[in-house]
Structure formats: structure tokens, C-alpha cells
Amino acid sequence: MQLSFFDNSAPDQTAVLRIQELRRLIEQHDHCYYQLDAPAVSDAEYDALFRELAALEEQHPELITPESPTQRVGGAPIDKFRAVSHRLPMLSLDNAANEDEIRNKLDLRVKKELGLADTASVRYMCEPKMDGLAVELVYENGILTTALTRGDGITGEDVTENIRTLRGLPLRLTGTGAPVLLEVRGEVFLSLSAFQKINCDKEESGEPPFANPRNAAAGSLRQLDPRITARRPLSIYIYAPGYVEGVSFSSQHEFLSAVSSWGLPVNPLAREANGIDEAVAYYHEMLAAREALPYEIDGTVVKVDSFDLQRELGEKSRSPVWAVACKFPPRQAETVLEDILLSVGRTGVITPVAQLRPVDISGVTVARATLHNWDEIAAKDIRIGDAVIVERAGDVIPAVVRVLTEKRTGSERYMPPPEKCPQCGSSVVRIADEVALRCIGLSCPPQIRESIKHFASRTAMDIEGLGDKIAGQLLSLGLIKNVADIYRLTKADFMCFERMGDKLASNLLAAIEASKQRELSSFIFALGIRQVGERTAKSLSQAFGSIDNLEKATMEELTSIRDIGATVARSIRNFFDNRDNQAIIRQMLELGVAPQSGAKKVGGRLSGKSFVFTGSLTRFSRDEARKLVEDLGGNVVGSVSRKTDYVVAGEEAGSKLAKARDLGLNVLSEDQFLALIAGL
Ligand code: IVH
């Protein structure tokens, strides 16, 4: 028998070490990004680390572990959630509706039970009461193994696969001293901006929107397909221990700081209070801060800090004696829907808006609420004159949650969808697959005004000073008819404007001039193509590199980009196929608009090399492949020629592969391509 010096069964040590290093780096960057809100590296650098890890794990599948950052979205869809008992019941809290109740239901009771004088000062921990849904997480030997919903407090549902997709939650604990078994409880929630985005997407795809962020968070967590949950940016704050083995905490503040040191997210607004007066002050402080927070809170929670005292106080009727939920006034109110107004947006969408009898909802007078679309009006059977419940969350536009049909008198009136645009009288159509009604008038004034405002807005071409008022004046004076005309304006044009001095006019012209050099992604976003938001505009800019390339992009090329499906691709093609749009873009380029594409990397390892991708790629998407090549200085082209350096063939590659073989070009499999990228 011949002995070999090489043991093929032993994992490659360099790969093992690099994989460990990459996982650690990615976990650190996730922590900085999602918890500290302070990214330590650029998106591109992060993506590069992630891709390197994915490629190494692909080559060494035996080294893949469930807690690897690449395995967050691993689970397949399931039929139903498994019921699992909590090791310790998950209790609920007694509520206090105001300052007096905080004192009576907590402080006085605690002092009485502990035999303390009324004047004694108890140490409390105060926390925001997150408005989401409670879950329990189990970490065994530092690894997240199970996540359960609260359920009825005794038995919950196994949502482990979904919880694993929360990017701000570590799949393994970091730091030192993590116990063998750590059960923690916390609240899963959605930020207000994520909630708004989800509802916009829902409206675009014709689904009913969520009434509030809590419902949206619950709906997202209770998805049977973890891939859907992964697309919803859920967050979590940990606020209580469950069953723990191998460590003991003496107080709530010690618990919070320990779990935070192990990488778990803890609300930074949690604060100790010396005596109930400080806890009451905290309640008022949070009530005032509520409007400015990026997520919904529905009160504060005050807990006796010492765990010894908590044990001594115990629980009564399924609520702990040592804590109370101090509720804020509700975000809902009853009022009357007096009329339905029609608002025309930039893309011609006509949105029904409820005109309400003004009502105070936690300090803000609400007189308008969105009704979303006519499908929603029909589904909720909303009629003019109805008594309705209105809800508002933070800065989000208030919404009509439901109709109090029991209060109907018979005088309420249904309002049918409009047949003509309320602004320009053009026809209104309902485009197939859309819930929205749309005015198709090309010269509909509010549409043009909105499109100019959008074009000039900060995240688009950023033309400071060109807001609603100036746009309206420019249009009504006939100085502009479309966005290209902005670049034809002279100082003399502004001189007849109200309150427009020489300085203001010069500033405005300077802002217009500066906007000519904006990033390509901002320019694409500014065009106002339907369904193309900032993120899609960035992907398009990265994938095509110039407006010319984008204009020529085929449906196939567009849909090969991550996050771009057939509907968005169709909308992009429709936009560029429109002759008016082509003419306006041409004019802008002739007038000196020169969108800047991200500089190409020169001198990279693949500098000057051209790649063609063909067939269906299973290991990475086309735009991921493009990015990999471009990051190393190469470029990706659409068709095979003698000059092509590499043809990467996926499954079922057809004529391009045949041509490459005919020409004797380098043909790579997906694995060989990854090896080339990794420099192997
Ligand atoms: S402590 C035994 N702390 O409020 C008490 N709960 O009404 C355990 N909640 O089911 C809960 N933020 O979903 C606690 N900082 C916080 C909280 C919080 C939100 C929720 C939780 C619980 C409900 C109780």
C-alpha cells in the first residue's frame, strides 16, 4: 500500500481559519450596522466579505454551520408552525393609564408587600414599551437554537427560521461569560420607515395594506416562508430573562448590560430610576419623545430592579407584582368621515383621501387620512358620513382602520371611483394588475408639477430652492413644460417672480448647474420611472454604468438584476420606449447634464478582461456576477465575439455557448468562475 503525505479528509486549515475570520468580521459589521447604526465599512466592502465567505463555504460544504451569516435564510417554506411549550410561562403586565395609577398599582403595592415605609425609595428599571410582539429566544452554548412566539404564554409557535432572518440579532453570542443555556424574551417590531415601505409595496402589488406597524410585524413574523420574512427588516429588543443555566443575574440592569455585552440588542433608552418620581418623570419624557422615535412605543414599563425583590414579590393573576406597563394615550380615535377628496400624484395615481371631522389623536389634530385605493374603500365598505376609527403612528399618514357600521343612520353615501381626472378632466384608467386608478393626461398640471418637484428633490437631482412654489410659478408662467426646460432657465426668467432677488436667482441657477454632475443613480431616480425607487436606481446604475446602456437594456438583462422582477422591468422598458421621454433625456444631455457613474476600477486583476454570462445561473445572480467582475477591473458584455475573454455558462446555455466553442474561447462553469474570482 502506498502511503500519501496528504490527508484528503482533513479540512484545509487555511480555509478553516479564513472562514472563521470572515464570519467574525461579518458579525462585527452586522453589529455596527444594525445595532450601533454606525457602519464600519462600505456596502461594497461588506458584500465582498460576504461573497468570499459564500464562495469558500461552497468549496468546503463540510465547514458550513447553521450559525454562519450565510445561513440566515436557509429554511424551506413550512405548512404550519410547530407548537412548543415555554420552559417558564410568559406573563403579561398589569396596565397603568396615568401617573396616579403608576404610583398606586406599582409603588404603593410593592412597598406594602415588602413591608417598606411609604416614604422609602425603591430602585426601578424603566424601559420603553415596544409596540410589537413578544418572542422567546433560546441560546444553547451560545448558539441560537429556538425562537418561539408568546402564544398563550404557556405554549408558543416555533418561528426559529423566521427569527434567524433578523439581521440585527446574532446567531451566536459574542464576548465572554455567555451561559450554557440562555433564554431571553424580547419584542419584535418594525421601524416606521420599514412599515411605510411594506405598505407601499403592498399597494403596488394590489394587496391590502397593514393597519399599523404592529400588525405588519406580526404578519411578517408569522410567514410560513422564511424568504418573505427575510425581506421585511424586522428588529428586536431584548427585555427580560427566561430560563437560564450557568449564570445568575442580580438585577434587571445587570441582565440588560450582560446580554448587551454578548451582542444582543437592548433598547438604549432603558434607564434606572431611584424611586417612583424618577420613573414617572421617565414616562413623561418618553411620551414627549414618542413622536421623534423611529419606531412605535405604546408606553413605558417600570420594573423593580432587584431580582431578589422580584422573587419576593412574585405574581398575582398571571401578572408580576413587581412591574407595570404605563400606557400612553391610544393612537386611535373615533370621528366622522365628512368627504372623500381625490389627490393626483406624480405618476397620475388618483388616491382617495378622507376628509375627517378634526380629531385629536395623542396631541396631534388629524383632519385627513389615506383611504389607499378603491379596493380598500370597497373592502372596508367606507361611505361618506360614516363614523370611523382613525389611527396614526408617528409621522406616518393617518389611516382609516374601520367603519363603525353600527352607528349608520342610512344617510351615508358610497362614492364611486372617478371616471375623469378631477384636475384635468382626462380619462381615468385602471391598469391590469394594479389597484390604483390613474389619470392618463399627458399635460395634467399636478402630475407635471409633482414630477418637477420629484426631479429637484434632495435624494434626486438635489436642486436646492426648486420646491413646490417655484415649480408652480415656472409652470404657470409657461417657462417650463418638462424637466429638461429647467436647464434652459436664465436669470432673466426669475426676475419677474415675487420676492426673488438677484442673490436668490443666482443661487437657484448655481444649484441647477451643480445638479448636472449628480450621480447616475440619482439621475435615474429623478426620472420618476414608475416602480423605480432609490434602491432600484442604484442597482440599475451599478449594472449598466450609463444612461445610454440603460436605455438599450433588454427585458432579459433587466430581469437578471437582483430585486428587479418582470413588472419593474416592464415599467422601465415602457418608460424608455416612450418617444417623449427619449427626447427629454436627449435634451438634458445636450444641455450639459452629465450623470456620473461610479469610477471603474482600473488595474484590477481582471483589468481589460471581458466576460459573457449565458444560461441560467444558479450560484449567483447576473448583477452579482457583474459586480464581482467589475470590482476586479473586468467588464461584462452582452454578446460573444472573438474579443471575449471568458464565457461563463450556467445551466441550459444555448447559442452563445455554441458560438464560444466554435471560436475556441475560454468557457467556464460557475464553479470555475468563482475560483477565478477567488484567485485560485
Ligand atoms: S417585560 C413579565 N418589557 O408588553 C413581564 N414587556 O403587556 C414581561 N413589552 O407581552 C414583559 N416592551 O410583549 C416588558 N420593555 C418591555 C416591553 C414589554 C414591550 C410587551 C411584551 C409583553 C407586553 C406586556
CATH code: domain of residue 458:
1.10.150.20
Q: Give nearest CA residue, ligand 1 atom 17.
A: 129
CATH number at 643 reads: 3.40.50.10190
Confidence of residue 335 (pLDDT cuts 50, 70, 90): very high
CA distances 4 to 7, 8, 15, 545, Å, are 7, 9, 21, 51
Residues 586 and 469 reside in one and the same domain: no
Per residue in 166-211, pLDDT (tens digit) is 999 999 999 888 999 999 999 999 999 899 888 887 876 677 888 8
Q: How far is the CA of 266 from the centre of ligand 1 (A)?
A: 13
C-alpha cell at 288: 414627549
- Catalytic residue, candidates 80, 105, 112, 129: 129
Query: What CA–CA distance (Å, rounded) separates 62 from 68?
Result: 12
Confidence of residue 598 (pLDDT cuts 50, 70, 90): low
Query: What CA–CA distance (Å, rounded) separates 507 from 398?
Result: 37
Confidence of residue 409 (pLDDT cuts 50, 70, 90): very high
Tell me what pLDDT residue 3 has.
35
Q: How far is the CA of 241 from the centre of ligand 1 (A)?
A: 12
Residues 338 and 423 reside in one and the same domain: yes
Out of 88, 105, 130, 267, give the residue to mutate to test ligand 1, the one with the largest number of ligand atoms within 8 Å of its CB: 130
Confidence of residue 293 (pLDDT cuts 50, 70, 90): very high
Sequence letter at residue 463 = I
Q: Given the CA of residue 300, which atom of ligand 1 is nearest to it?
A: 15
| Rounded mean pLDDT, 623-648 | 80
Helical spans, DSSP H, in 371-519: 374-380, 445-456, 468-476, 491-494, 502-514
Tell me what pLDDT residue 396 has.
82
Residues 433 and 456 reside in one and the same domain: no
Q: Given the CA of residue 90, which atom of ligand 1 is nearest to it?
A: 2
Between 168-182, 242-256, 576-590, 601-615, the lowest mean confidence (pLDDT) is in 601-615
Q: Given the CA of residue 315, which atom of ligand 1 is nearest to it?
A: 2
| Domain span including residue 342 | 330-441
Residues 397 and 544 reside in one and the same domain: no
Query: What CA–CA distance (Å, rounded) separates 27 from 372?
Result: 39
Residue 492 CB burial class (10 angstroms; 0-12, 13-18, ≥19): exposed
Out of 129, 260, 305, give the residue to mutate to test ligand 1, the one with the largest number of ligand atoms within 8 Å of its CB: 129
Taking every pair of Cα atoms in the chain, the longest distance, rounded to a whole number of angstroms, is: 98
Residue 1 lies in a domain: no
Residues 449 and 414 reside in one and the same domain: no
C-alpha cell at 283: 414616562
C-alpha cell at 671: 464553479
Residues 163 and 239 reside in one and the same domain: yes
Residue 279 lies in a domain: yes
Torsion angle (degrees, nearest 10) of CA 364, 367, 369, 373: -170
Name residue, grid cell 414617572.
Answer: 280
The radius of gyration of the chain's CA atoms, rounded to the nearest angstrom, is 30
Residue 79 lies in a domain: no
Number of domains in the chain: 6
Q: How far is the CA of 389 from the centre of ligand 1 (A)?
A: 26
Q: Give nearest CA residue, ligand 1 atom 9.
A: 129
Question: Are 281 and 125 in contact, with CB atoms under 8 Å apart?
Answer: no
Residues 421 and 499 reside in one and the same domain: no
* 587: Cα separation from own chain's centroid: 36
Per-residue pLDDT for 135 more than 60? Answer: yes
Q: Given the CA of residue 240, which atom of ligand 1 is nearest to it?
A: 1
Confidence of residue 280 (pLDDT cuts 50, 70, 90): very high
Per-residue pLDDT for 670 more than 80? Answer: yes
Which of 29-43, 193-207, 386-400 is most confident? 386-400
Query: What CA–CA distance (Å, rounded) separates 633 from 611?
Result: 11
Query: What CA–CA distance (Å, rounded) separates 91 from 108?
Result: 21
Tell me what pLDDT residue 25 has.
94
Q: Give nearest CA residue, ligand 1 atom 16.
A: 129
Per-residue pLDDT for 5 more than 60? Answer: no
Q: Give nearest CA residue, ligand 1 atom 18.
A: 129
Q: How far is the CA of 145 from the centre of ligand 1 (A)?
A: 22
Confidence of residue 6 (pLDDT cuts 50, 70, 90): very low
Tell me what pLDDT residue 100 has.
94
Q: How far is the CA of 320 from the centre of ligand 1 (A)?
A: 11
Number of H helices, E strands in the chain: 25, 24
**pLDDT mean across residues, the chain:** 89
Residue 78 lies in a domain: no
Q: Where are the beta strands (DSSP E) in 528-661?
A: 610-614, 635-636, 646-649
Query: What CA–CA distance (Å, rounded) separates 218 from 221?
Result: 5
CATH number at 64 reads: 1.10.287.610
Residue 88 lies in a domain: no
Of 470, 485, 515, the domain-final residue: 515
Tell me what pLDDT residue 11 has.
63
Of 327, 352, 369, the domain-final residue: 327
Tell me what pLDDT residue 432 has.
65
Question: Are 372 and 204 in contact, with CB atoms under 8 Å apart?
Answer: no
Residues 387 and 473 reside in one and the same domain: no
Per residue in 434-491, pLDDT (tens digit) is 788 988 776 788 888 989 999 999 889 999 989 888 998 898 888 998 899 999 999 8
Pick 530 or 136 by higher pLDDT. 136
Helical spans, DSSP H, in 488-614: 491-494, 502-514, 520-526, 534-544, 547-552, 555-559, 566-577, 579-590
- Taking CB atoms and a 6 Å cutoff, what residues make up the pocket around ligand 1? 91-93, 127, 129-130, 134, 150, 187, 239-240, 301, 320, 323, 325
Q: How far is the CA of 185 from the centre of ligand 1 (A)?
A: 9
Q: Given the CA of residue 320, which atom of ligand 1 is nearest to it?
A: 2
Query: What CA–CA distance (Å, rounded) separates 124 from 252?
Result: 9
Residues 113 and 226 reside in one and the same domain: yes
C-alpha cell at 50: 460576504
Confidence of residue 350 (pLDDT cuts 50, 70, 90): very high
Sequence letter at residue 276 = I
Residue 426 lies in a domain: yes
Pick 431 or 336 by higher pLDDT. 336
Confidence of residue 417 (pLDDT cuts 50, 70, 90): very high
Out of 91, 93, 188, 302, give the residue to mutate to test ligand 1, the one with the largest number of ligand atoms within 8 Å of its CB: 93
Out of 125, 148, 187, give the residue to mutate to test ligand 1, the one with the largest number of ligand atoms within 8 Å of its CB: 187
Per-residue pLDDT for 531 more than 80? Answer: yes
Residues 564 and 553 reside in one and the same domain: yes
Residue 85 lies in a domain: no
Residues 415 and 477 reside in one and the same domain: no
Between 166-180, 421-435, 541-555, 624-638, the lowest mean confidence (pLDDT) is in 624-638
Task: Classify 150 as helix, strand or coil.
Answer: coil
Q: How far is the CA of 116 from the centre of ligand 1 (A)?
A: 26
Residues 489 and 569 reside in one and the same domain: no
Residue 162 lies in a domain: yes
Q: How far is the CA of 332 from the centre of ligand 1 (A)?
A: 21
Q: What percent of the chain has pLDDT over 70?
A: 96
Tell me what pLDDT residue 263 has.
95
Per-residue pLDDT for 389 more than 50? Answer: yes
129 catalytically annotated:
yes
Residue 671: name the closest of 239, 59, 191, 4 by CA: 59
Per-residue pLDDT for 8 more than 60? Answer: no
Q: Given the CA of residue 150, which atom of ligand 1 is nearest to it?
A: 10
Of 312, 327, 342, the domain-final residue: 327
Tell me what pLDDT residue 603 has.
61
